Amino acid sequence: MLAIAFLFCVFSGRFLYVQLFWREELLSRALDQWTREIPVTPERGKIFDRNGELLAGNETAYSVYARANAVTDPEGAANVLSALLNVPREEIEEKLSDRSHSEITLLKQGEKSQVLPIEGSGLTGIYYARDNKRVYPYGALASQVLGFTAMGAEGTTGIERYYDDFLKGKSGEILYETDLVGSEIEGTSASYIPAVGGLNLKLTLDYRIQALAEEVMGRVLASSSAKAARCIVLDPQDFGVLAMVNLPSYDLNDPPRDDMETLNRLSRNCLVSDIYEPGSTFKIITAAADLEEFRKGNPAAFSPQYVFPSSRTRSVDGTTIKCWSDHKNGKHSNQTLAEALNNSCNPCFVDIALSLGKETFYSYLSAFGFGKATGVDFSGEAVGMLIPEGSVRDCDLARIGFGQTIALSPLQLACAAASAVNGGYYYTPHILEEVFSDDGYVAVKTGKKLAARTVSEETSRLLSSMLEGVVRDGSGKHAYIEGYRVAGKTGTAQKYENGTIAQGKYVSSFVGYFPANEPRYLALIIVDEPQGSYYGSTVAAPCAKEIFEGIIGFTGLPAQGGAL
């Protein structure tokens, strides 16, 4: 009796386990065994620029599938399908002979002409379904920002990946009843589960500015035989990204998938993911810190009228720090902060950093977002490299003052510069403007998000008047546009390899914006390793001028004139 009771308990326990705990898995197995599923691919959400211009869309394609158990002649089917689908016969036959998978994909995103003949071929167990193929109307435009999708339609890089959950939608399917080997049972009806299309994205990008910037940067890349040319155009009023250019680039409709090294290199958004020493463009931040501390009454700060003593060098911790220029043309004569910005004189900014001290100076580095992520809606953002405050020496602090011994991403610098001249408001940069459905329903809408206050509006106005002088009278004169109040700062940074200066290798850059009294467009230009002339004033500044002139042309922005 005990044995019988024990066996009864065992069988009862097993019965309950099968009914309660194994139920879903067994139902799934039964459904797979007695039905044939034809997938219904959802239409991926489209991507538009801020003007409603389509940047990423879809076109109809067809995918071919097989249920291996229902294929009676794998060899014969492989011969027929190889000719139709332009796929090697051996590859198809190997797939059809594999009975370990109930559903096999033979072709993804093929042409209609390829798959239609399957209907009259007499092949069993072979079927096709409508699919969607991602298309990019502008080819290489903003390729590193938009990114691309895998053959399975999921986002792989860029915005396509970051916002994949919005874009991908939900797959549907058509279910047919089949016999044990997967052949459809005559007289049965199909069940249809519709697909749900993805949501659309509206970006802050302006395709006109993006195309213009790519054209300009393409010319300088070719004319200077540079390693790379990059550009960010930012709206200083909310930090919406208007353009991001990374050259060389690639066509989104034909990414080099068979060469992963090349694909990874060309698809990387270096403006967000890479870091560099900014050089003299960083002097904007040092000047902003000094002016703000002077406004607050800090005796360590220098007034706008203070005249820095003449010298081409400064000696700090036994290290001699030289300026980029010699004494020619009086560039190192006694000068004010405005004149030091005009001449990009390193010793003056060494004096500022050392006088403010590391505690005060580092508080501004933190406020301007260095050493941390900006929070932009893009994967793989770099945080930069900043010596910990407790470890920084005077010689390090001195170099940070003019843009050395600190590494940051181009996006970090663009945001910091925008904050310094827009009244002292640091917003979270963003690429997405809104998420919406085809019927116009807005699911998500972004807006400007204040992340920090950096300097006062008074300081910002004073700094902007000085930077306007840099373009009007100083090193940035190649960005000057008659009748328009352009301001900015040039930069020429040496490159390092294996811890030492790489001879003959420079990064030429320029940060510019306009109108100076109410910034609406800010551009950061970076040309990596130009050959021949390498100064930011002669290589990068003219690019900003061309981009600004183009923006003026298609926006009709009237001339401002006057001065701050």
Within 224-345, residue ranges assigned H as helices are: 260-267, 270-273, 283-295, 337-343
From the candidates 143, 280, 344, 464, give the one annotated as an active-site residue.
280
**Residue 327 near residue 335, CB atoms below 8 Å:** no
Structure tokens at 243: 């353009």
**CB contact set of 246 (below 8 Å; sequence gap of 6+):** 143, 144, 228, 230, 268, 269, 270, 271
Q: Measured between alpha carbons, how far is residue 540 from residues 325, 359, 546 in Å?
A: 19, 33, 10
SS3 of residue 231 by DSSP: strand
For 355, other C-beta atoms within 10 Å of its C-beta total 17
- Note the residue count of the chain: 564
Rounded CA gap, 477 and 485, in Å?
Answer: 12
Structure tokens at 315: 């000696």
Cα radius of gyration rounded to whole Å, the chain: 31
Distance of alpha carbon 529 from the chain centroid: 22
Structure tokens at 147: 């990114």
Backbone angles phi and psi of 12, in degrees to 5: -65, -40
Based on the residue annotation, tell me whether 280 is a catalytic residue of this protein: yes
**CB contact set of 299 (below 8 Å; sequence gap of 6+):** none
Q: How is residue 508 annotated by DSSP?
A: E
The set of catalytic residues is: 280
